[in-house]
Chains A and B, each alone.
Chain A
Amino acid sequence: MLAEIGIDSADELFHDIPRSVRDPKLAVPPPMSEMEVIGHLRDLSERNSDLEHQTSFLGAGWYDHYIPAFVDQLLLRSEFYTAYTPYQPEISQGTLQSIYEFQSMICDLTGLEVANASLYDGGSAVAEAIGLALNATGRTNVVVADTVDPVYRNIAATYMEPLDINLSVVKNWGLDSDGTLRETQHSLIDAIDGETAAVVLQRPNFFGWIEETNDVIKAAKSAGALVIMACEPVALGVLTPPGELGADVAVGELRHLAGPPAFGGPGAGYFAATKSQMRRVPGRIVGRTTDVDGRRGFVLTLQAREQHIRRAKASSNICTNEALVALGATIHLAALGRNGLKRLAELCIGNAHACARRAWPRGYAVAVERPFVREFPLKCPRPAAEINAALREMGVLGGFELGRYWDELTDYLLVAFTERNGPIQQERLIESLQEAV
């Protein structure tokens, strides 16, 4: 090879690198054999307390669903996971068609007309949706409900910070004298005016309940603002789709349809919008077309929106997205189908509501006045962090400590349910809570 290149040593190829910094010593340990490296990883793995060996009621945006075996088996097809962005459509029809199917299912779920191929996660999808609204309206004020996942709000705030955007987080809930959380949507309506580019809502909201959104949406529409709704996809198996409610953009997190939580990543954000926003949608979009012989085929399309064509004027800088996670969600959604997704949602709802109706130990109370879906705030007799610490000793993850985001909710746990939280797990939770006091 060296002779063919016309050099005496490979070192000659690196002559453009300044001599003084060439050939550094790497602060990296020596190589490990496959046996050794997997042993080391197993050791790290075993130092974590995983969800499989505990009874978990932890959700708050990341849900622990059972994923059918075929989902991962299919994702492990080399042709899916070791390909890249389908730049050459003739040899990427598998990826392209699966994205088209994904877009179709996201449109079905959300009741909107256009969906992209995915974004990084639910949080960045909220940020990108706000970006779309700023672009569409030419305005700079954004109203975000306090009941939107604080992680999503934080990511959106990071994205907006450089852009001189006025992002107001509006508190749309309060505590009754008995400690029940109630909603105060009028505060959102009051915050909307002719300068508002977008209103961001979550359904079900971070506390798990379904907000009364009709009047908020009406106010947004009459002010000329866009409505952005973050919607959890399993709940959409039964809930009215955001498009029908009047949302202009719907976004959300799909990770829990594709695999275990993986410590929060890779996730996948979905992004759907009305047809009138089609050319402002960020990221890859696949369209159906035909080949020179008239056969059906699929291609990346509307690329004039994207960074590799539009550069500084692109709708977003996103390039690589979360295709494989979105494929996992596609496969799972296809298998669940019309009846299965509804049944899955009903299992979550049934478990949450059956548990809520149980006799709670003294001092605990389900603290929500609105209809909820699969998650509810539970008021505890002591700081929730203390309760949780005691529960962990019993192998139970009691839920998310709301005091981590809201000081006035130090005594509250946000308890989440999936199909894995049936009567046996519920009894275990109640007993453990009793013992924790």
Chain B
Amino acid sequence: MKDSRVIHELSSPGRTGVSLPDRDPEAPVSADVIPQSELRSDLPLPEVSEVDVVRHYVGLSQKNFCIDTDMYPLGSCTMKYNPKVNEVAARLTGLASIHPLQDDGQVQGALELLHALERLISGISGFEAISLQPAAGAQGELTGMMIIRAHHLRAGERRGRVLIPNSAHGTNPATASMCGFEAEEISTGSDGELDISSLDAALDDDVAGIMMTVPNTLGIFESRIQEICDLTHAAGGLVYCDGANMNAMLGQVLPAALGIDVMHLNLHKTFSTPHGGGGPGAGALCVTAELEDYLPVPRVVRNEDGSYERSSRFPHSIGRVQGGMGNFGNLVRAYTYIRSLGASGLKEAGEWAVLNANYLRAKLSDVYDLAYDRPCMHEVVFAGLRNHAAGVRTLDVAKRLIDLGFHPPTIYFPLIVHEALMIEPTETESLETLDRFISAMRQIAYEAEHAPKKLADAPTSTPVRRLDEATAARHPDLRWAPKPQD
């Protein structure tokens, strides 16, 4: 069993893990210049050496599964391989060691990179204007919905509702609420696409817009998206698109050409900036020329002489959403990725992403129950095992997959699919890897009937086995305390 002590338990009085420069002996100390009442008496941080720290966190890292371990087909998260060169690029001194408040003249390379990345994303999405400020997809959504609100307000309209398909990511309704809108659910038809008649019934002059996900979270391209956009526009609403699934459309279609008005892209998904154990991400917000005035400030502007500046002279802007110019380090990685792949590589990525998902669909649909029996885009959604007789749940399938060496797919999402298994292989998995995954999934289907205990007991190969989440929520223990908590 691996050590599961927290860093505080390794503490030994007097140790420290850093070598700091000596103090200037002439310099005052805090007690000389700050009143005693403003100073703390103690700081209960751990006391450990550099070796302790390194071994502890290397040890922790060894308890993680990651893309560099093996296939990580987490649906809707686009866990593609992250090229190492991106890390080198982001760590170049001139791109890493620059301060957001430096004078524009000192950061022309950074501003040029931002401007160029905006143009590349414009070329990939078809939208005229881009903001790289949102720090993640959900912040991109928030920014986008604020822009839709600002657009209506400028026209003198205070619209109160936003329509959201019931297959949507949870961030969509949460975003609508944060923006002061009431979220209204629109149902999904039997073909896995938005039900047009429900949309039609819901549209009126109180609807600010609709938040679509294309392809949707069932992995299906909304074939009537142009009609959806037309209907919404006719009612005076705007169309927001959650771009989490952009990987399927790379080089296949420019989303702007479908009639969408506002869309965010998750650069950490589509453009391969590493997911970091839950972030940082980077959002890019794309809008039509009509909505450009509302984009966050400051914006990068190219002057006639070819120099770049940051400008806040956009009076209709919704304001600032992030402290700098966005998650710049990740923007450098995304830029590096796009330039590496180029137009042809991006197109190929989109095509392989879709091809790989359909290969999994074809090879697994006799043992897993397809939620919607039609070709999929970048991900395929199953409604659990076909054979329900054994009573094996999707959770068990997922846990057994861990023992067979893979990260499980997204499970129990979208909410409208019973026992959902949402599998997104991405384009970076080879045919051999896909075949290994398929054979693992088929083995599990077999075991579900013939050795169900293997599934119920899984995982057994991991540092810990199934964890008691109910107790964790009922009696929250959220921080280390030297004495037992009451």
| Chains A and B bind each other | yes
Which single member of A285, A304, A337 contacts B16 (CB below 8 Å)? A337
11 A–B contacts from the bound complex (CB under 8 Å):
A10-B355, A16-B221, A17-B249, A38-B89, A40-B339, A83-B64, A84-B72, A94-B62, A121-B135, A264-B324, A351-B24
Closest to B345 in A: A31
B232 at the interface (CB under 8 A from A): no
Contacts of B296 in A (CB 8 A): 158
A56:B99 contact, CB within 8 angstroms:
yes
What distance in Å separates the Cβ of B194 from its nearest Cβ neighbour in chain A? 13
What distance in Å separates the Cβ of B145 from its nearest Cβ neighbour in chain A? 8
B340:A320 contact, CB within 8 angstroms:
no
Stretch at the interface among B49-57, B199-207, B284-292, B385-393: B49-57
B106:A392 contact, CB within 8 angstroms:
yes
Query: Whole-angstrom distance between the alpha carbons of A124 and B329 in the complex?
Result: 18
A84:B278 contact, CB within 8 angstroms:
yes
B98:A263 contact, CB within 8 angstroms:
yes
Query: Whole-angstrom distance between the alpha carbons of A45 and B360 in the complex?
Result: 42
Contacts of B266 in A (CB 8 A): 320
Query: Whole-angstrom distance between the alpha carbons of A26 and B102 in the complex?
Result: 34
Q: Which positions 453-471 of chain B face chain A at CB distance < 8 Å? A: 459, 462-469, 471
A70:B53 contact, CB within 8 angstroms:
yes
A32:B43 contact, CB within 8 angstroms:
no
> For chains A and B in complex, what number of residue pairs have CB atoms within 8 angstroms?
675
B258:A21 contact, CB within 8 angstroms:
yes
Per CB-CB distance, the 10 closest pairs between chain A and chain B, nearest first, are A264-B324, A264-B100, A335-B17, A324-B276, A27-B123, A47-B109, A45-B94, A350-B27, A31-B342, A266-B280
B61:A74 contact, CB within 8 angstroms:
yes
Contacts of B130 in A (CB 8 A): none
Which single member of A29, A60, A392 contacts B103 (CB below 8 Å)? A392
Contacts of B370 in A (CB 8 A): none
B345:A337 contact, CB within 8 angstroms:
no
B354:A422 contact, CB within 8 angstroms:
no
Contacts of B16 in A (CB 8 A): 335-337, 339-340, 343
A173 at the interface (CB under 8 A from B): no
Query: Whole-angstrom distance between the alpha carbons of A25 and B477 in the complex?
Result: 54
A184 at the interface (CB under 8 A from B): no
Not counting A44-B112, A95-B277, A321-B280, a sample of 7 additional A-B residue pairs whose C-beta atoms are within 8 angstroms of each other reads: A31-B342, A80-B64, A120-B136, A158-B296, A292-B466, A325-B280, A337-B47
What distance in Å separates the Cβ of B158 from its nearest Cβ neighbour in chain A? 11
Query: Whole-angstrom distance between the alpha carbons of A78 and B19 in the complex?
Result: 26
Which single member of A28, A151, A321, A389 contacts B278 (CB below 8 Å)? A321
A437 at the interface (CB under 8 A from B): no
Q: Which positions 247-274 of chain B face chain A at CB distance < 8 Å? A: 249, 251-254, 257-258, 266, 268, 274
Which single member of B17, B141, B325 contacts A263 (CB below 8 Å)? B325
Most A CB contacts (10 A, CB to CB) among B27, B67, B93, B402 go to B27
B340:A34 contact, CB within 8 angstroms:
yes
Contacts of A21 in B (CB 8 A): 253-254, 257-258
Closest to B254 in A: A24
Closest to B266 in A: A320
A334:B220 contact, CB within 8 angstroms:
no
A41 at the interface (CB under 8 A from B): yes
* Residues 70-101 of chain B, each 1 if its beta carbon lies under 8 Å from chain A, else 0: 00101001010010010111111111111111
A388 at the interface (CB under 8 A from B): yes
What distance in Å separates the Cβ of A31 from its nearest Cβ neighbour in chain B? 3
A86 at the interface (CB under 8 A from B): yes
What distance in Å separates the Cβ of A373 from its nearest Cβ neighbour in chain B? 7
A1 at the interface (CB under 8 A from B): yes
A144 at the interface (CB under 8 A from B): no
* Residues 154-166 of chain A, each 1 if its beta carbon lies under 8 Å from chain B, else 0: 1101110111100
A104 at the interface (CB under 8 A from B): yes
Query: Whole-angstrom distance between the alpha carbons of A260 and B90 in the complex?
Result: 11
How many B residues have CB within 8 A of the partner chain? 198
Which single member of A237, A296, A314 contacts B4 (CB below 8 Å)? A296
What distance in Å separates the Cβ of A47 from its nearest Cβ neighbour in chain B? 3
Query: Whole-angstrom distance between the alpha carbons of A335 and B268 in the complex?
Result: 29
B431 at the interface (CB under 8 A from A): yes
Q: Which positions 21-47 of chain B face chain A at CB distance < 8 Å? A: 21, 23-24, 26-30, 32-35, 37-40, 42-47
Most B CB contacts (10 A, CB to CB) among A32, A91, A104, A107 go to A91
What distance in Å separates the Cβ of A9 from its nearest Cβ neighbour in chain B? 10
B277:A120 contact, CB within 8 angstroms:
no
Q: Which positions 299-328 of chain B face chain A at CB distance < 8 Å? A: 318-328
Contacts of A333 in B (CB 8 A): 45
Which single member of A48, A79, A389 contacts B109 (CB below 8 Å)? A48
* Residues 61-87 of chain A, each 1 if its beta carbon lies under 8 Å from chain B, else 0: 110100010101110111111111111
Contacts of A325 in B (CB 8 A): 276, 279-280
A4:B94 contact, CB within 8 angstroms:
no
A77:B61 contact, CB within 8 angstroms:
yes
B101:A30 contact, CB within 8 angstroms:
no
* Residues 93-132 of chain B, each 1 if its beta carbon lies under 8 Å from chain A, else 0: 1111111111101111110110000011011101000000
Contacts of A369 in B (CB 8 A): none
A311:B170 contact, CB within 8 angstroms:
yes
A335:B53 contact, CB within 8 angstroms:
yes
B50:A335 contact, CB within 8 angstroms:
yes
B420 at the interface (CB under 8 A from A): no
* Residues 399-416 of chain B, each 1 if its beta carbon lies under 8 Å from chain A, else 0: 100100001101001000
CB-CB under 8 A for A58 and B473, given A115-B478, A313-B177, A344-B20 = no
Q: Which positions 320-360 of chain A face chain B at CB distance < 8 Å? A: 320-325, 327, 331-347, 349-351, 353-354, 357
What distance in Å separates the Cβ of B19 from its nearest Cβ neighbour in chain A? 8
What distance in Å separates the Cβ of B471 from its nearest Cβ neighbour in chain A? 6
Contacts of B171 in A (CB 8 A): 307-308, 317, 319
A423:B24 contact, CB within 8 angstroms:
yes
A338:B43 contact, CB within 8 angstroms:
yes
B45:A108 contact, CB within 8 angstroms:
yes
CB-CB under 8 A for A238 and B21, given A48-B98, A74-B54, A337-B15 = no
Contacts of B359 in A (CB 8 A): 1, 4-5
